[in-house]
Copies of this chain bind each other. A is one copy, B any other.
Amino acid sequence: MTNRSSIFLPPDRYLGPDPAQKQIAEELYGLIANAPLVCPHGHVDPRLFSDPDYSFGTPTEMIIIPDHYIFRMLYSQGISMESLGIPRQDGGPVEQDHRKIWQTFAENFYLFRGTPTGVWLNYSFDYVFGVEQKLNGETAQAIYDQIADCLQKPAFRPRALFEQFNVEVLTTTDTATDPLEHHQAIRDSGWSGRILPTFRPDAVINLDAAGWRENIDQLGERVGYEVSSYGKFIDALENRRAFFKSMGATATDHAALTPYTNQLSPAEAEAIFQRALQGQASADDARLFTGHMLMEMARMSTEDGLVMQLHPGSLRSHNTAVFERFGVDKGGDIPIQTEYTNNLRPLLTRYGSDPRLTLILFTLDETTYGRELAPLAGHYPAVKLGPPWWFFDSLNGMDYFFHKVSETAGIYNTVGFNDDTRAFPSIPARHDVWRRATAHWVAGLHVRGIVDMEDAEAMMHDLAYNLAKQAYKFN
């Protein structure tokens, strides 16, 4: 048979087309191709690692059902969520035959032509599972069998893959009220894999979060006193941050519809908090409170040193019908225009020049890269830019990011790569795309006489490894 790699994973992939640039890119890529993976921002479930015998289940359970990148595309072409086995909120029936779901996926795999999801899946099939055929309706069941066989083997337990993938550190994302018992179990197990939590308090900070009142009660349980006032709320958050830090956390993570920030007086904050406790907070209260709490989070970061991450701009669950039937994170989150210059001014005026703060900004609005984010990062000591996020975690997204950000911010106000994924087996694929995209871009700078090879090589090491490690304080 032909070399499968020549079909869909050629060794020089993503680096071309110009031969001179490609040659330099291959040289640069070679420098860091095997560097350890630093994974400072993601959504892998820590259960994968707390149970040494954790199994991914069927290929469908591992690859399709948990991945909204995949099922949103199938849904967009009229394939129902039920037929893909996506659990309903009401517990109603959905397809249970995982081979049938896989067959549907395979027959529609052509939809992913030219998409990052297609790229990641082909990588996983090939490099992780040794699949030598192209996925389609004919090959579906054979490939299912092959992956299912793999998943029975010890080498495909999460801990074994973690080591095989050469992950140096992996962070999870955890609510403020998470007891972190899986992280504790990992520590207690004596396994050497470095899995760290990240403090994400959206569910107690955003007054309009689902179940906010219950989340506050749970927060009280965690800290051992009733969170009955704004002052106690602040105390509780500081308490939880200290706990996360004691468990190895180096960062916090914050989502908001917009990056609005504004300092309230303690009395104003207390008044809103009391309205919220009584279920009477308005939409405007929620907006003001989140804007205020982002400033408080920045303050706490200056004190405890946790790196602060902010990624605004996603209108969650745009399709209310899908949300009501299937819940959150079901592919219907749609970006909106985002404004950083005015919105972040109060926070940056107060904390942006503080050497103790690192504020990493993400965006779903690429228009802000060159207009707002790079100028902010190229001035404020605290501001760094996260890599292309979500829809832009792709070859074109990375290329655009480099072109729009690097000239004003330089690469030293960026933080390398985040894989930001729930799909653990896709992690090497995502880093491979980043490293190749980086090699291609840096090689382009070199062949056009903008940086010499000494600089190009240093930039590669920094973008592939050093910047992420430094920015997130992994020592």
Chain A residues near B (Cβ < 8 Å):
7-10, 12-21, 72-73, 75-78, 110-116, 118-119, 134, 315, 318-322, 331-337, 339, 341-342, 345, 348-349, 352-353, 355, 364-367, 370-372, 374-381, 383, 391-392, 394-397, 400, 403-404, 406-413, 444-445, 447-452, 454-455, 458-459
Contact = CB atoms under 8 A, between A and B. Distances in A.
B348 A342 contact: no
B14 A411 contact: no
A397 B407 contact: yes
A305 to B, nearest CB: 15
B334 A376 contact: yes
A395 B319 CA distance: 34
Contact of A336 (B372, B377, B391): B372
A13 B450 contact: yes
Contacts of A76: 377-381, 383, 409, 413
A113 to B, nearest CB: 5
A382 to B, nearest CB: 9
Given A113-B459, A334-B379, A321 B448 contact: no
A114 B449 contact: no
Contacts of A112: 410
B407 A115 contact: yes
B370 A392 contact: yes
B448 A14 contact: yes
A447 B16 CA distance: 7
Contact of A77 (B110, B336, B412, B447): B412
Contact of A111 (B315, B333, B375, B410): B410
Nearest to A321: B353
Given A17-B21, A73-B378, A341-B336, A348 B318 contact: yes
